[in-house]
Every structure is written in C-alpha cells, then in structure tokens.
C-alpha cells in the first residue's frame, strides 16, 4: 500500500511516498529557516503563506522522486495535530482536496506520535517483535519534551513532560541570549565541541540536585526555564571571548542533556523497558546521541536512534504511521479538524506488535 504523507505543522513543507509503512520511496522537505531567522522564531502567518506557495511543488517533487503518479497512491496521511493552526490548515486543506478528487482514503496523523514512529522507519523488525517492548521513548523537539511508555499492546501513555520550555526551545532561547543566530540548537551543538562542559555549574531542575526534595509526581517531568534564567545572569554585562563563549555553551548544553538522559534512564529502569527510543528535532544533537548511546549500552538496552533525516519535521514519518491506520480501515472524513495542542491521551499506537488486529 503506497501512502502519500504530507507535513506542514510548523515551518517545513514536506511530502513523502512510503510503501507498506517503512519503504521510503521519496522524501522532500522545503525549509523556511532563512525566512524566519530574522525574527528569531517562526511567525505562523508567514509560515502558512510559504506552505501555500510550496506545497504543490513539494508534492510534485516527491512523486517524481518515487517515479509515481497521484493515481498510484492508495491513501493520504497528513499532519492535523499538534502544530501552528495556520500552517496545519494549509496541509490538511490540500490533502482533503486530493482525497476528494482522487477518491482516496484520508487519515489525520498526530505529529508527536509520528516523531516516535520516525525511529522505527528503518527498524521495522522491532514492530513485529514483542520482546522489544515496552519501549521507552524520549521525544525532544522545539515544541515537545516528553517521556512516553509504549507497551506491546499499543496503549501508550506519557510518563512525564516539560512544565515550561521544551528542550529545543531552551536551546533556541539560549542562542538568542548569546546572539548566536537561529535556529540555535545546531549552532550550540557545533560551538560546544570546543568548550569545557564543566566550566559553569548550571542547574539541573526537577532532579533533586539542589537539595530540594523532588515531588513524586514530577519524577519524570522537565523544567528548562531555570537553566535559561541562570544563563542570562551568567553572561549579563559580560563580553565573552571565543573560548569563554564555547565554555558557556558547552556547560549549558551539558545541563540540558544531563537531565534528558538521566530521566529517560530512570524511567526505563523503573518500567523494565528493554528498548529506548530517541526522536524529535533535538535528537540530532551529537552530545545527546552520544550520552544516551553510552548509557543504553551500559544498561544492556537496545537504543533506536531516529536518523537525523527523520528527526526534524518530515513527511516520511507521517506517511509511515498513516499506513498503519489506513491498513486497518481507519480514516477521517473531509470534516477532519486541526488542533494546536497535544492531547495527553495518546490512545492506542497502531504499530505495536500485540495490538488487536481488528480496527482500533
């Protein structure tokens, strides 16, 4: 079954042709980074305008790369939540028009869950192996930071999430404080390589490291507003030379990644998860990938790292996840809504190995 995936939840217009849930025949992404860089963040109305301009050419390129036509596709999967409403409306409206014209089934896909599925795109063997489950997924991006528990029956739930800034947001805001440019995550990752991560002792919030007892309900939650404020005061009224800047950046990055890795490992141990999964845009960070790889190996756990091309927003993860819904006969009508927020009730993930084979 060949699925056309469409992604427009933020500032990337993306389309992909995915066969049988994991064979990615094409993946095309049009980025808007240059457009939004001057504002230090994504402007929803500008993003929507660019999506309108780019969506038809991007889908055309995806079809050409896959050597396919619209008549060849068996269904359409489009991101309809969560995200920027103006941006989501462009992708979903286009997808609805295609579905109506081609008389093909349409399914709305949760962007957050699609990021998780991105780690499985090149590991379909895990989806048929109950021994890989439960999976403990660490989802880290500009909009989301959460730990998700996924059992073999697919009844996933969020164990913890950020109480304020997401990890990617914390990196972008740090880059803005330091006047490094946008987006900040990749810049910080690069500069930190020449810095001393122990030069500054930035706080690790919600870990109990400051001596304040951690409330049990926040055991797997995150908070990055404190480390951001600490950075602001550390560099206030200072002119940093290149090495001092690298040290600040390395120390800040280490504080963020320490919390992410330690909480993910604690959750994996507590839930006896044999498999860890790292996904989302921040999963491109080299320190995070290295730290989690080392800790997973020491604990004897398998680690599924989403490839960098499937970490940032893309349509392959949307088309791949959409296939699992459509093959069960699950689809949405043309009245399908969009939603800006993530519903904490994730429902049943259709790609888990022991999910009831009947429609969900």
If phi > 0 it is left, if psi is from -120 to 50 it is alpha, else beta; for residue 309 that is alpha
Q: Are 181 and 37 in contact (CB under 8 A)?
A: yes
CATH-assigned architecture of domain 130-306:
2-Layer Sandwich (3.30)
User: Residue 36: which pLDDT band, with cuts at 50, 70 and 90?
Assistant: confident
Nearest CA to 139 out of 164, 173, 162 is that of 162
What CATH fold (topology level) applies to the domain 2-117+311-326?
A: Nucleotidyltransferase; domain 5 (3.30.420)
Average pLDDT over residues 31-48: 85
List the chain domain ranges. 2-117+311-326, 130-306
Do strands 75-81 and 106-110 pair parallel, antiparallel, or not at all (unpaired)?
parallel
Q: What is the reported pLDDT for 182?
A: 86
In tens, the pLDDT along 238-281 reads 999 999 999 999 999 999 999 999 999 999 999 999 999 999 99
pTM: 0.94
Q: Do domains 2-117+311-326 and 130-306 have the same CATH topology?
A: yes
Percent of the chain with pLDDT over 70: 98
User: Residue 317: which pLDDT band, with cuts at 50, 70 and 90?
Assistant: very high
In tens, the pLDDT along 184-238 reads 999 999 999 999 999 999 999 999 876 677 888 899 999 999 999 999 999 998 9
Q: Provide the b/e sequence for 300-336 (b: ≥16 CB within 10 Å).
A: ebbbbbbeeebbbbbbbbbbbbbbbbbbbeebbeeeb
The set of residues, in sequence order, having a beta carbon less than 8 Å from that of 115 and lying 6+ positions away, is 139, 141, 144, 279, 280, 306, 311, 317
d(CA 82, CA 69): 29
Q: Cα–Cα–Cα angle for 272, 273, 275, nearest 5°?
A: 150
Which has the higher per-residue pLDDT, 355 or 26? 26
Q: What is the reported pLDDT for 116?
A: 97
Q: Cα–Cα–Cα angle for 164, 170, 175, nearest 5°?
A: 150
């Amino acid at each position: 079954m060949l699925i056309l995936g469409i992604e427009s939840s933020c500032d990337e217009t993306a389309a992909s042709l995915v066969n049988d849930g994991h064979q990615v025949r094409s993946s095309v992404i049009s980025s808007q980074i240059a457009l939004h860089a001057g504002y230090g963040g994504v402007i929803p109305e500008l993003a929507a305008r660019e999506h309108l301009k780019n969506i038809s050419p991007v889908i055309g390129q995806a079809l050409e790369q896959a050597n396919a036509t619209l008549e060849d596709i068996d269904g359409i999967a489009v991101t309809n939540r969560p995200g920027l409403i103006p941006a989501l409306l462009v992708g979903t409206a286009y997808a609805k028009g295609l579905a109506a014209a081609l008389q093909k089934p349409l399914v709305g896909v949760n962007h957050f869950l699609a990021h998780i599925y991105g780690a499985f795109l090149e590991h379909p063997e895990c989806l048929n192996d109950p021994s890989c489950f439960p999976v403990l997924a660490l989802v880290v991006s500009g909009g989301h930071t959460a730990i998700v528990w996924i059992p073999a029956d697919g009844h996933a739930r969020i164990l913890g999430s950020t109480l304020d800034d997401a990890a990617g947001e914390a990196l972008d805001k740090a880059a803005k404080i330091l006047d490094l440019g946008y987006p900040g995550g990749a810049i910080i990752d690069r500069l930190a390589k020449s810095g001393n991560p122990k030069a500054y002792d930035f706080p690790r919030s919600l870990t109990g490291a400051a001596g304040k007892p951690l409330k049990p309900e926040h055991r797997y939650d995150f908070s990055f507003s404190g480390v951001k404020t600490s950075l602001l005061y550390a560099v206030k009224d200072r002119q940093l030379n290149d090495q001092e800047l690298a040290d600040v950046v390395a120390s800040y990055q280490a504080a963020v990644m320490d919390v992410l890795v330690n909480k993910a490992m604690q959750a994996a141990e507590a839930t006896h998860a044999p498999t860890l999964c790292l996904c989302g845009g921040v999963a491109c960070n080299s320190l995070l990938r290295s730290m989690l790889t080392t800790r997973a190996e020491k604990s004897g756990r398998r680690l599924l790292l989403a490839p960098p091309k499937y970490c940032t927003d893309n349509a392959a993860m949307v088309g791949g996840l959409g296939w699992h819904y459509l093959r069960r006969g699950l689809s949405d009508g043309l009245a399908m809504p969009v939603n800006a927020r993530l519903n904490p009730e994730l429902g049943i993930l259709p790609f888990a190995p022991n999910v009831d084979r009947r429609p969900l």
